[in-house]
Amino acid sequence: MVKSARKLIGATNPLEAEPGTIRGDLAVEVGRNVIHGSDAVESGEREIKLWFGSEGIVDWSPAMLPWLREM
């Protein structure tokens, strides 16, 4: 999953990111490269605690979900 996400995000340096990736299409410099992607699940867990505290990320489903996707 991490590898797939990082492929979609693009290289850390936007000038090296492929067209069609988030950084390749929307970013212009390393320090402001639009999006962050952890390099491993363990890093992601640590970074979530760092940025979101003990509450972490909440589960949420849009009210329109039954209309968007058959369950």
Rounded CA separation 22/35 (Å):
8
From the list 13, 30, 36, 46, the catalytic residue is 36
Active-site residue 71, yes or no?
no
CA 13 distance to own-chain centroid:
15
Return the active site residues: 36
